Amino acid sequence: MLRGKTAIITGAGRGIGRAIALQFATYGAKVVLNYRNSLSQVEELLQTIKNAGGEAIAIKADISKEDEAKNLIVEAVKEFKTLDILVNNAGINRDNLLIRMSEEEFNSVIDINLKGTFFCMKHAAQVMLKQRFGKIINISSIVGIAGNMGQANYAASKAGVIGMTKSAARELSSRGITVNAVAPGFIETDMTDALPDRIKEASIATIPLGRFGSAEEVAGAVSFLASESANYITGQVLQVDGGMVM
């Protein structure tokens, strides 16, 4: 499905990013695993991919810093010569009620989720424009569509990602580049593990499919958008949320 393609996945060390990297490698892509701090997680993932006969390298970069985001793209292209797929997955949350939210809490989420995605798209697009081919998939969130209590900063960043996805799709389409977003709902990862049980139970009650999703189920949507089956799809937001928002 992705044989011979090269792909960068930001924040690939754990959770949804890890699942995407594993699935891409299984489908035959050469994957670049971006990480910020946790080298041990990424080393384990590199080994898992290599043991299964896949090709992967790891590159350290804090994507909220433009020089590091640029270096990630440059180093990836140096290694694999092309860049076919970029998945902007790295993200954080710093929840607080609006009236208590500090500027630092607001900025840190915007810096990583929104500006980090912008930096990676900007530098990847320069390579993809020359190639006249590329697929960019940005991980947004259902919270960017519907909002959520205590997540004004996160919702703003993820809604921003959707607007940026649509603008980039319009700018880059004439050169064969598609840009789409995936908006997961509640997915079982370290990010949602931290939620109190009462919040988890209340959330499940709002999901028509009656359960949280898995990281692999999000990866399935990303793999589809990265594949040739999605060549005529651009500027779209694919919700992977068990029907929670419709």
Applying CB under 6 A, the residues found at the interface with ligand NAI are 10-11, 13-17, 34, 36, 62-64, 89-92, 112, 116, 139, 141, 184, 186-187, 189-192
Residues 6+ apart with CB under 8 A from 234: 169, 173, 178, 179, 180
| Rounded Cα gap, residues 90 and 63, in angstroms | 8
DSSP conformation letters of 55-68 = EEEEEE--TTSHHH
Q: Which is nearer to ligand NAI, 91 or 160 (CB)?
A: 91
Q: Taking the mean position of all CA atoms in its chain, how far away is CA 181? A: 8
Assign 7 to helix, strand or coil. Answer: strand
Residue 219's Cβ-side half-sphere holds a number of Cα atoms within 13 Å equal to 21
* Rounded least distance, CB 71 to ligand NAI, Å: 12
139, containing H or E segment: strand 134-139
Nearer to ligand NAI, 30 or 36 (CB): 36
The CA-CA-CA angle for residues 245, 107, 7, to 5°, reads 65
Identified catalytic residue from 27, 35, 154, 232: 154
Q: What are phi and psi of 115, to 5 degrees?
A: -70, -35
Respond yes or no: is residue 154 known to be catalytic: yes
Smallest distance, Å, CB 70 to ligand NAI? 13
Q: Smallest distance, Å, CB 143 to ligand NAI?
A: 7
Q: Tell the smallest beta-carbon distance from residue 79 to ligand NAI (Å).
A: 18
Per the document, the length of the chain is: 246
Cβ distance to ligand NAI smaller for residue 129 or 245: 245
Residue 205 Cβ vs ligand NAI, minimum distance, rounded to whole Å: 16
Q: Which is nearer to ligand NAI, 13 or 242 (CB)?
A: 13
**Minimum CB distance to ligand NAI smaller for 37 or for 231:** 37
214 to each of 4, 20, 29, 227, how far by Cα in Å? 27, 11, 22, 20
Catalytic residue annotation: 154
